[in-house]
Structure 1
């Protein structure tokens, strides 16, 4: 499930750079896999653009019948939308084509639009508040993870602080220490961070690496910073938006329940931006 790729860090302030070709990825060795429930059913594997690996480039969360929440750095390298999302686990998996996507005005947040209704019984609530410190749950569909492409790994974690830095001019990132051996890697980018059943973040970066190129500290873009934009887009304000989708005030339990190149940000210490797993990662 959850390695990452690192470039030399800059000093103070933000430094952005394109990610180079990836090498062999490392897998999360976890005995914990997602139960078959409404929360895990919404976590999808996203093949970003038609040039990506069919195993999956990034992770995302289906938050409306035609909309998947993911990381902006997953779509940034591709001028033309395309690809697909894979839903379900095991022999219940299926694919739905992507025909459009939208990048948030700020922050490492984006939305993929699917051609077909994904047909889930319910969709997770998107949080409109910044989470506090404490317990959180994270998922990742990296094909290099312990679940490969059939079983969805899940890890528990702890929000330890809010960092005053973020990609794409966002305000903050959520710092999460993972538990029980959970480590982030390519293919997990854009995956959801859940707190109290709500999506509070999209996986954006790892903070430092161990000797094997993996990290058990992950950074998430704060979804609440772009809550209004997300709600407007999926309810009719964006290109390809769902006609008749409930507005922001109606997104409740009645209706709801790592692309090509990435970028690097550094502030004093190394910050590793997760990239989606493409064909070059197959080593």
Structure 2
């Protein structure tokens, strides 16, 4: 069976630094979470998946098209993908409608009526149907993030790659986004690169953990969480040797790893617990930065 996306021996070097090291990856229908600390290679991987940068070596195919070939093949790949980068620069003098319409033109939507209908559809999906004539410079940070998401949804892409899509969104907006992305995952491959482990737990059926340019875990979210079973504890104080610990709202100290004492009670592990245990102090540092 042909995969929606296949990457083989994908490698990216910047001088003497190897950002991604011979990664193999297959993507099919569904939502995949991509976790990893800063400098792990996540952004390099998604930029190559979206044809933004070429690999040093290796090959990527999207729906059978070679994304690492010449400009004609890359253009064909770009027609079937949507991409939300972590940072997107807006022409701030434009309205919301004009901006998404401009992106649609770049994607070669030449029929005006159909293009405008699609622009209205994606703006409605992200809850901006009442902001179509608003100038981008007047939008809040969360609204600009939703506008950035809208352009990535044009044409129901078969490959949708999102880098930190929930940044700046409030809980209601985040829940709405999850509903949109879960629907996208019914017909295409959605890749969600994030530091928000709760988004992975709530939305993804698969998780990939990247560190030091290599994949450390690739599988079902429940199996990933299972790697932390019997290694998360609640007690009156931090356990000896705990990798991370904090006092919870009920006064108990939650310890990740460590040597359990007699009073320690095993706790239900989470995606965050499994992530901290797998990647150690590097992961803990990144969680504190994201908090």
TM-score of Structure 1 vs Structure 2, range by shorter chain: under 0.3
Q: Which has the higher helix share?
A: 2
Which of structures 1 and 2 has the bigger CA Rg?
A: 2
Higher relative contact order (CA 8 A, sep 6+): 1
